[in-house]
Amino acid sequence: MTLSERDLKCIWHPYTQMYTAAPPIAIVKAKGARLWAEDGKTYLDAIASWWTNIHGHGHEHMVQAIAAQAACLDHLIFAGFTHEPAVKLAEKLLPLLPSNQVRVFYSDNGSTAVEVALKMAFQYWHNKGEKRKKVIALKGAYHGDTFGAMAVSGRSAFTQAFESFLFDVIYVEAPVTGSEEDALKEMKNAVDEYGSEIAAFIYEPMIQGTAGMRVMNPAGLQQMIQDCKTRSIFCIADEVMTGFGRTGRMFASEFMTEMPDIMCFSKGLTGGVMALGVTTCTQNVYNAFLSDDRMKTFFHGHSFTANPIACAAAVASLEIFHSEKTLQKVQQIELQHKAFAEQIKTDPKVRNIRVLGVILALEIETPASTSYFNPIAANAYNFFLEWGILMRPLGNVIYLLPPYCISEEDLQYIYEAIKDFIRLQSK
Protein backbone atom coordinates (compact mmCIF):
# COMPACT_ATOMS: atom_id res chain seq x y z
CA MET A 1 0.00 0.00 0.00
CA THR A 2 1.38 3.41 -0.94
CA LEU A 3 1.80 6.25 1.51
CA SER A 4 -0.98 8.17 -0.25
CA GLU A 5 -3.35 5.20 0.12
CA ARG A 6 -2.50 4.84 3.80
CA ASP A 7 -3.12 8.58 4.26
CA LEU A 8 -6.61 8.33 2.78
CA LYS A 9 -7.60 5.85 5.47
CA CYS A 10 -6.76 8.06 8.47
CA ILE A 11 -5.92 11.73 7.69
CA TRP A 12 -8.10 14.87 7.42
CA HIS A 13 -6.22 17.56 5.46
CA PRO A 14 -6.49 21.36 5.85
CA TYR A 15 -8.47 23.46 3.37
CA THR A 16 -9.50 20.28 1.61
CA GLN A 17 -12.92 18.95 0.65
CA MET A 18 -12.07 15.36 1.45
CA TYR A 19 -15.08 13.97 -0.45
CA THR A 20 -13.91 15.21 -3.85
CA ALA A 21 -10.17 15.78 -3.39
CA ALA A 22 -7.61 13.81 -5.34
CA PRO A 23 -5.31 11.56 -3.29
CA PRO A 24 -2.56 13.61 -1.65
CA ILE A 25 0.89 13.58 -3.20
CA ALA A 26 3.26 11.75 -0.86
CA ILE A 27 6.60 13.54 -0.45
CA VAL A 28 9.47 11.45 0.89
CA LYS A 29 12.41 13.88 0.65
CA ALA A 30 13.17 17.58 0.22
CA LYS A 31 16.34 19.52 -0.47
CA GLY A 32 16.76 23.15 -1.39
CA ALA A 33 13.77 24.21 -3.49
CA ARG A 34 12.94 20.68 -4.64
CA LEU A 35 10.58 17.98 -3.34
CA TRP A 36 10.77 14.26 -4.17
CA ALA A 37 7.52 12.30 -4.35
CA GLU A 38 6.94 8.66 -3.48
CA ASP A 39 6.51 7.82 -7.17
CA GLY A 40 9.88 9.36 -8.06
CA LYS A 41 8.57 12.60 -9.54
CA THR A 42 10.12 15.86 -8.36
CA TYR A 43 8.45 19.22 -7.75
CA LEU A 44 9.79 22.74 -7.43
CA ASP A 45 8.47 24.27 -4.21
CA ALA A 46 7.38 27.59 -5.73
CA ILE A 47 5.40 28.68 -2.65
CA ALA A 48 7.95 27.82 0.04
CA SER A 49 5.67 25.12 1.49
CA TRP A 50 2.81 27.49 2.32
CA TRP A 51 4.95 30.63 2.70
CA THR A 52 7.20 29.18 5.39
CA ASN A 53 10.52 27.92 4.05
CA ILE A 54 13.21 30.54 3.58
CA HIS A 55 16.67 29.05 3.13
CA GLY A 56 15.59 25.86 1.39
CA HIS A 57 14.75 22.42 2.69
CA GLY A 58 17.44 20.49 4.52
CA HIS A 59 19.83 23.42 4.97
CA GLU A 60 22.87 21.94 6.73
CA HIS A 61 23.20 24.69 9.34
CA MET A 62 19.52 24.33 10.27
CA VAL A 63 19.79 20.53 10.46
CA GLN A 64 22.85 20.68 12.71
CA ALA A 65 21.31 23.27 15.05
CA ILE A 66 18.10 21.27 15.46
CA ALA A 67 19.94 17.99 16.06
CA ALA A 68 22.32 19.55 18.59
CA GLN A 69 19.49 21.16 20.54
CA ALA A 70 17.39 17.98 20.53
CA ALA A 71 20.30 16.11 22.05
CA CYS A 72 20.77 18.77 24.75
CA LEU A 73 17.30 19.97 25.78
CA ASP A 74 14.22 19.01 23.81
CA HIS A 75 11.48 20.76 25.80
CA LEU A 76 10.84 22.60 29.04
CA ILE A 77 7.95 24.33 30.76
CA PHE A 78 8.42 28.07 30.17
CA ALA A 79 6.51 29.33 33.21
CA GLY A 80 9.11 29.93 35.90
CA PHE A 81 11.92 28.45 33.76
CA THR A 82 14.03 29.62 30.84
CA HIS A 83 16.70 28.30 28.50
CA GLU A 84 19.50 29.48 26.22
CA PRO A 85 17.75 29.22 22.82
CA ALA A 86 14.77 31.35 23.94
CA VAL A 87 16.96 34.07 25.44
CA LYS A 88 19.39 34.01 22.53
CA LEU A 89 16.59 34.28 19.97
CA ALA A 90 15.05 37.28 21.75
CA GLU A 91 18.46 38.92 21.99
CA LYS A 92 19.05 38.44 18.25
CA LEU A 93 15.53 39.33 17.10
CA LEU A 94 14.78 42.53 19.01
CA PRO A 95 17.67 44.57 17.53
CA LEU A 96 16.35 43.77 14.05
CA LEU A 97 12.88 45.15 14.83
CA PRO A 98 11.65 48.74 15.09
CA SER A 99 13.42 50.34 18.04
CA ASN A 100 10.28 50.51 20.20
CA GLN A 101 9.95 46.70 20.38
CA VAL A 102 11.43 45.55 23.71
CA ARG A 103 9.71 42.32 24.84
CA VAL A 104 9.21 38.89 23.26
CA PHE A 105 6.26 36.61 24.06
CA TYR A 106 6.46 33.08 22.63
CA SER A 107 3.62 30.94 21.29
CA ASP A 108 3.10 28.19 18.70
CA ASN A 109 2.23 29.60 15.27
CA GLY A 110 0.89 32.59 13.34
CA SER A 111 -2.68 32.37 14.56
CA THR A 112 -1.63 32.15 18.19
CA ALA A 113 0.82 35.02 17.74
CA VAL A 114 -2.17 37.10 16.60
CA GLU A 115 -4.33 35.84 19.49
CA VAL A 116 -1.60 36.95 21.90
CA ALA A 117 -1.43 40.39 20.27
CA LEU A 118 -5.18 40.91 20.48
CA LYS A 119 -5.32 39.77 24.09
CA MET A 120 -2.42 42.07 24.97
CA ALA A 121 -4.28 45.01 23.46
CA PHE A 122 -7.63 44.21 25.06
CA GLN A 123 -6.17 43.47 28.49
CA TYR A 124 -3.97 46.58 28.41
CA TRP A 125 -7.11 48.74 28.37
CA HIS A 126 -8.83 46.48 30.90
CA ASN A 127 -5.85 46.85 33.25
CA LYS A 128 -6.00 50.61 32.73
CA GLY A 129 -9.69 50.68 33.60
CA GLU A 130 -10.81 51.81 30.14
CA LYS A 131 -13.52 50.12 28.09
CA ARG A 132 -11.97 49.69 24.68
CA LYS A 133 -13.41 46.60 23.01
CA LYS A 134 -13.43 47.46 19.31
CA VAL A 135 -10.82 46.57 16.69
CA ILE A 136 -10.18 48.05 13.26
CA ALA A 137 -9.08 45.65 10.50
CA LEU A 138 -8.66 45.85 6.75
CA LYS A 139 -11.20 44.44 4.34
CA GLY A 140 -9.90 41.22 2.82
CA ALA A 141 -7.57 40.62 5.77
CA TYR A 142 -6.40 37.19 6.83
CA HIS A 143 -4.85 36.72 10.28
CA GLY A 144 -5.39 33.03 11.02
CA ASP A 145 -7.96 30.38 11.81
CA THR A 146 -8.34 30.49 15.59
CA PHE A 147 -11.34 32.48 16.82
CA GLY A 148 -9.70 35.80 17.62
CA ALA A 149 -7.66 35.66 14.42
CA MET A 150 -10.79 34.77 12.44
CA ALA A 151 -12.71 37.65 14.02
CA VAL A 152 -10.23 40.23 12.72
CA SER A 153 -9.96 38.57 9.30
CA GLY A 154 -12.25 39.56 6.48
CA ARG A 155 -15.63 37.85 6.57
CA SER A 156 -15.67 35.15 3.91
CA ALA A 157 -16.60 31.56 3.17
CA PHE A 158 -13.81 30.59 5.58
CA THR A 159 -15.55 32.28 8.52
CA GLN A 160 -19.21 31.88 7.52
CA ALA A 161 -19.99 28.91 9.78
CA PHE A 162 -18.65 30.79 12.80
CA GLU A 163 -20.10 34.28 12.25
CA SER A 164 -22.24 34.27 15.38
CA PHE A 165 -19.22 33.46 17.56
CA LEU A 166 -16.95 36.25 16.28
CA PHE A 167 -16.69 39.67 17.91
CA ASP A 168 -17.60 42.77 15.90
CA VAL A 169 -14.85 44.48 13.94
CA ILE A 170 -14.75 47.84 12.13
CA TYR A 171 -13.53 47.14 8.60
CA VAL A 172 -11.89 49.75 6.40
CA GLU A 173 -10.55 49.53 2.87
CA ALA A 174 -6.91 48.59 2.41
CA PRO A 175 -4.84 51.37 0.80
CA VAL A 176 -4.27 49.54 -2.49
CA THR A 177 -4.25 51.25 -5.87
CA GLY A 178 -7.73 52.54 -6.64
CA SER A 179 -8.92 52.37 -3.02
CA GLU A 180 -6.48 54.67 -1.24
CA GLU A 181 -8.80 57.63 -0.97
CA ASP A 182 -11.63 55.47 0.38
CA ALA A 183 -9.24 53.76 2.79
CA LEU A 184 -8.01 57.00 4.31
CA LYS A 185 -11.53 58.40 4.55
CA GLU A 186 -12.92 55.25 6.18
CA MET A 187 -10.09 55.12 8.70
CA LYS A 188 -10.50 58.77 9.64
CA ASN A 189 -14.26 58.33 10.05
CA ALA A 190 -13.78 55.22 12.22
CA VAL A 191 -11.22 56.94 14.44
CA ASP A 192 -13.30 60.10 14.74
CA GLU A 193 -16.48 58.21 15.63
CA TYR A 194 -15.20 55.37 17.80
CA GLY A 195 -11.66 56.40 18.80
CA SER A 196 -12.16 56.14 22.55
CA GLU A 197 -13.67 52.65 22.14
CA ILE A 198 -11.03 51.15 19.84
CA ALA A 199 -8.32 48.98 21.39
CA ALA A 200 -6.27 48.23 18.28
CA PHE A 201 -5.81 48.41 14.53
CA ILE A 202 -4.43 45.18 13.04
CA TYR A 203 -2.97 44.98 9.55
CA GLU A 204 -0.73 42.96 7.27
CA PRO A 205 2.01 45.44 6.39
CA MET A 206 2.47 46.17 2.67
CA ILE A 207 0.80 43.08 1.22
CA GLN A 208 -2.39 41.12 1.89
CA GLY A 209 -1.49 37.52 1.12
CA THR A 210 -4.69 35.48 1.13
CA ALA A 211 -6.65 38.38 -0.39
CA GLY A 212 -4.66 37.76 -3.57
CA MET A 213 -1.24 39.28 -2.87
CA ARG A 214 -2.67 42.81 -2.87
CA VAL A 215 0.17 45.33 -2.50
CA MET A 216 -0.54 48.45 -0.44
CA ASN A 217 0.76 51.97 -0.78
CA PRO A 218 3.13 52.48 2.18
CA ALA A 219 2.28 56.20 2.41
CA GLY A 220 -1.41 55.37 2.72
CA LEU A 221 -0.82 52.71 5.36
CA GLN A 222 1.46 55.06 7.25
CA GLN A 223 -1.28 57.71 7.33
CA MET A 224 -3.75 55.17 8.69
CA ILE A 225 -1.31 54.19 11.45
CA GLN A 226 -0.77 57.86 12.30
CA ASP A 227 -4.53 58.45 12.52
CA CYS A 228 -4.82 55.60 15.01
CA LYS A 229 -1.96 56.85 17.12
CA THR A 230 -3.61 60.24 17.57
CA ARG A 231 -6.24 58.39 19.64
CA SER A 232 -3.81 56.02 21.39
CA ILE A 233 -5.08 53.06 19.36
CA PHE A 234 -2.53 50.25 19.37
CA CYS A 235 -1.21 49.29 15.94
CA ILE A 236 -0.59 45.57 15.45
CA ALA A 237 1.61 44.57 12.51
CA ASP A 238 0.93 40.97 11.46
CA GLU A 239 4.30 40.03 9.91
CA VAL A 240 3.57 36.30 9.93
CA MET A 241 3.83 36.08 6.13
CA THR A 242 5.72 39.28 5.34
CA GLY A 243 8.52 38.94 7.90
CA PHE A 244 12.09 37.73 7.34
CA GLY A 245 12.76 39.08 3.88
CA ARG A 246 9.63 38.20 1.90
CA THR A 247 9.06 41.79 0.75
CA GLY A 248 12.70 42.63 0.02
CA ARG A 249 13.33 44.05 3.47
CA MET A 250 13.82 42.11 6.65
CA PHE A 251 10.34 43.21 7.79
CA ALA A 252 7.59 44.86 5.77
CA SER A 253 7.09 47.41 8.55
CA GLU A 254 10.38 48.95 7.40
CA PHE A 255 8.52 50.49 4.44
CA MET A 256 6.88 52.87 6.94
CA THR A 257 8.57 55.21 9.41
CA GLU A 258 5.64 54.92 11.84
CA MET A 259 6.36 52.02 14.19
CA PRO A 260 3.77 49.43 15.27
CA ASP A 261 3.11 48.88 18.98
CA ILE A 262 2.80 45.10 18.72
CA MET A 263 4.19 42.73 16.09
CA CYS A 264 3.39 39.10 15.20
CA PHE A 265 5.77 36.56 13.64
CA SER A 266 5.80 32.90 12.60
CA LYS A 267 6.28 31.04 9.26
CA GLY A 268 9.79 32.21 8.25
CA LEU A 269 10.76 32.82 11.87
CA THR A 270 12.36 29.37 12.13
CA GLY A 271 13.42 29.26 8.50
CA GLY A 272 10.10 27.50 7.94
CA VAL A 273 11.13 24.21 9.51
CA MET A 274 9.60 24.30 13.01
CA ALA A 275 6.36 25.58 14.54
CA LEU A 276 6.95 28.74 16.57
CA GLY A 277 5.14 32.02 17.13
CA VAL A 278 6.42 35.31 18.52
CA THR A 279 4.57 38.44 19.60
CA THR A 280 6.66 41.50 20.49
CA CYS A 281 5.55 44.72 22.13
CA THR A 282 6.63 48.10 23.44
CA GLN A 283 7.62 48.94 27.00
CA ASN A 284 4.33 50.80 27.38
CA VAL A 285 2.31 47.67 26.62
CA TYR A 286 4.47 45.52 28.88
CA ASN A 287 4.29 47.97 31.80
CA ALA A 288 0.48 47.75 31.94
CA PHE A 289 0.80 44.15 33.17
CA LEU A 290 3.29 44.89 35.96
CA SER A 291 1.44 45.12 39.27
CA ASP A 292 1.09 43.79 42.81
CA ASP A 293 -2.42 42.85 41.67
CA ARG A 294 -2.14 39.32 40.27
CA MET A 295 -5.33 39.88 38.26
CA LYS A 296 -3.31 42.15 35.95
CA THR A 297 -1.11 39.20 34.95
CA PHE A 298 -1.17 38.21 31.29
CA PHE A 299 -2.80 34.80 31.72
CA HIS A 300 -1.80 33.23 28.43
CA GLY A 301 0.48 30.34 27.54
CA HIS A 302 0.91 27.17 25.51
CA SER A 303 2.32 23.78 26.35
CA PHE A 304 5.05 24.25 23.77
CA THR A 305 5.77 27.92 24.48
CA ALA A 306 9.37 28.72 23.50
CA ASN A 307 10.17 25.11 22.60
CA PRO A 308 13.99 24.94 22.72
CA ILE A 309 14.35 23.08 19.42
CA ALA A 310 12.15 25.59 17.59
CA CYS A 311 14.01 28.51 19.17
CA ALA A 312 17.33 26.97 18.14
CA ALA A 313 16.05 26.66 14.58
CA ALA A 314 15.07 30.35 14.60
CA VAL A 315 18.51 31.36 15.91
CA ALA A 316 20.14 29.29 13.15
CA SER A 317 17.93 30.95 10.54
CA LEU A 318 18.98 34.43 11.67
CA GLU A 319 22.62 33.32 11.55
CA ILE A 320 22.14 32.23 7.94
CA PHE A 321 20.75 35.65 7.05
CA HIS A 322 24.10 37.09 8.11
CA SER A 323 26.49 34.40 6.86
CA GLU A 324 24.87 33.96 3.43
CA LYS A 325 23.79 37.58 2.85
CA THR A 326 20.25 36.31 2.37
CA LEU A 327 18.62 39.65 1.61
CA GLN A 328 20.89 39.97 -1.42
CA LYS A 329 19.42 36.71 -2.71
CA VAL A 330 15.94 38.18 -2.22
CA GLN A 331 16.91 41.27 -4.22
CA GLN A 332 18.22 39.09 -7.05
CA ILE A 333 14.94 37.14 -7.17
CA GLU A 334 13.03 40.44 -7.24
CA LEU A 335 15.07 41.58 -10.26
CA GLN A 336 14.27 38.33 -12.07
CA HIS A 337 10.58 38.69 -11.23
CA LYS A 338 10.55 42.24 -12.62
CA ALA A 339 12.25 41.15 -15.85
CA PHE A 340 9.64 38.41 -16.29
CA ALA A 341 6.83 40.87 -15.53
CA GLU A 342 8.10 43.07 -18.37
CA GLN A 343 7.89 40.10 -20.75
CA ILE A 344 4.22 39.37 -20.09
CA LYS A 345 2.74 42.75 -19.13
CA THR A 346 1.16 43.36 -22.56
CA ASP A 347 -0.54 39.97 -22.79
CA PRO A 348 -4.32 40.55 -22.96
CA LYS A 349 -5.00 37.61 -20.63
CA VAL A 350 -2.83 39.12 -17.87
CA ARG A 351 -3.59 42.07 -15.64
CA ASN A 352 -2.36 43.75 -12.49
CA ILE A 353 1.13 42.25 -12.26
CA ARG A 354 2.86 43.11 -8.99
CA VAL A 355 6.29 42.30 -7.64
CA LEU A 356 7.48 42.81 -4.08
CA GLY A 357 10.60 41.03 -2.87
CA VAL A 358 10.31 37.31 -3.67
CA ILE A 359 6.58 37.69 -4.35
CA LEU A 360 5.33 37.82 -7.92
CA ALA A 361 1.57 37.88 -8.53
CA LEU A 362 -0.57 38.31 -11.62
CA GLU A 363 -4.24 37.98 -12.41
CA ILE A 364 -5.60 35.90 -15.26
CA GLU A 365 -8.44 37.56 -17.15
CA THR A 366 -11.45 35.30 -16.71
CA PRO A 367 -15.21 35.66 -17.18
CA ALA A 368 -15.82 33.91 -13.88
CA SER A 369 -15.78 35.56 -10.45
CA THR A 370 -12.37 36.65 -9.19
CA SER A 371 -13.01 35.02 -5.82
CA TYR A 372 -10.96 32.32 -4.12
CA PHE A 373 -13.35 29.73 -5.62
CA ASN A 374 -12.77 30.66 -9.25
CA PRO A 375 -12.45 27.30 -11.06
CA ILE A 376 -9.33 28.48 -12.87
CA ALA A 377 -7.44 27.98 -9.59
CA ALA A 378 -7.91 24.19 -9.63
CA ASN A 379 -7.05 24.06 -13.34
CA ALA A 380 -3.88 26.04 -12.77
CA TYR A 381 -2.88 23.98 -9.72
CA ASN A 382 -3.10 20.73 -11.71
CA PHE A 383 -1.41 22.29 -14.75
CA PHE A 384 1.62 23.32 -12.73
CA LEU A 385 1.80 19.95 -11.00
CA GLU A 386 2.14 18.40 -14.46
CA TRP A 387 5.13 20.69 -14.99
CA GLY A 388 6.55 19.52 -11.66
CA ILE A 389 5.82 22.78 -9.86
CA LEU A 390 3.98 23.21 -6.57
CA MET A 391 1.78 26.32 -6.71
CA ARG A 392 -1.54 27.12 -5.03
CA PRO A 393 -3.30 29.88 -7.01
CA LEU A 394 -5.63 32.21 -5.11
CA GLY A 395 -8.69 32.21 -7.37
CA ASN A 396 -7.53 33.78 -10.64
CA VAL A 397 -4.32 35.06 -9.02
CA ILE A 398 -1.20 33.14 -9.97
CA TYR A 399 1.67 33.86 -7.61
CA LEU A 400 5.21 32.83 -6.77
CA LEU A 401 6.78 32.97 -3.32
CA PRO A 402 9.80 30.66 -3.52
CA PRO A 403 12.48 29.84 -0.95
CA TYR A 404 15.38 32.23 -1.31
CA CYS A 405 17.80 29.48 -2.39
CA ILE A 406 15.97 28.88 -5.67
CA SER A 407 18.27 28.97 -8.69
CA GLU A 408 17.96 31.30 -11.66
CA GLU A 409 17.42 28.24 -13.88
CA ASP A 410 14.56 26.94 -11.75
CA LEU A 411 12.89 30.36 -11.74
CA GLN A 412 13.17 30.54 -15.54
CA TYR A 413 11.56 27.09 -15.75
CA ILE A 414 8.65 28.33 -13.60
CA TYR A 415 8.30 31.46 -15.74
CA GLU A 416 8.06 29.29 -18.88
CA ALA A 417 5.33 27.23 -17.25
CA ILE A 418 3.39 30.38 -16.39
CA LYS A 419 3.71 31.65 -19.97
CA ASP A 420 2.48 28.29 -21.26
CA PHE A 421 -0.54 28.46 -18.94
CA ILE A 422 -1.30 31.99 -20.14
CA ARG A 423 -1.10 30.84 -23.77
CA LEU A 424 -3.65 28.11 -23.05
CA GLN A 425 -6.10 30.71 -21.72
CA SER A 426 -5.99 32.51 -25.08
CA LYS A 427 -7.17 29.47 -27.05
CB 65 within 8 A of CB 315: yes
Torsion of CA 365, 241, 146, 202, to 10 degrees: -90
Has 15 been annotated as catalytic?
A: yes
- Encoded amino acid at 281, one letter: C
Question: What is d(CA 333, CA 407) in angstroms, rounded to the nearest whole number?
Answer: 9
| Contacts of 58-62 spanning 24+ positions with Cβ under 8 A | 58/30, 58/31, 58/32, 59/271, 59/320, 59/405, 61/316, 61/319, 61/320, 61/323, 62/271, 62/273, 62/313, 62/316, 62/317, 62/320
**Ramachandran region of residue 212, left (φ > 0), alpha (ψ -120 to 50) or beta?**
left
User: What one-letter code names the amino acid at 49?
Assistant: S
User: Contact 234/271 with Cβ under 8 angstroms?
Assistant: no
Q: Which of 252, 280, 276 is nearest to 117 (CA)?
A: 280
Q: How far apart are CA 114 and CA 147, in angstroms?
A: 10
Examine the residue annotation and report whether 238 is marked as an active-site residue of this protein.
yes
C-beta pairs of 3-9 under 8 Å, 24+ apart in sequence: 3/28, 3/38, 4/38
The yes-or-no answer on residue 142 being catalytic is yes
- List the catalytic residue out of 238, 329, 372, 399: 238
- Identify residue 361 by its one-letter amino acid code: A
Catalytic residue among 106, 124, 142, 415: 142
DSSP assignments along 93-131, one per residue: HGGGS-TT--EEEEESSHHHHHHHHHHHHHHHHHHTT--
The whole-angstrom separation of Cα 422 and Cα 47 is 19
Q: Which of 108, 124, 261, 267 is catalytic?
A: 267
Q: How far apart are CA 100 and CA 111, in angstroms?
A: 23
**Range list of H helices, 237-389:** 283-287, 308-323, 326-344, 376-386
- Residues belonging to the active site: 15, 142, 238, 267
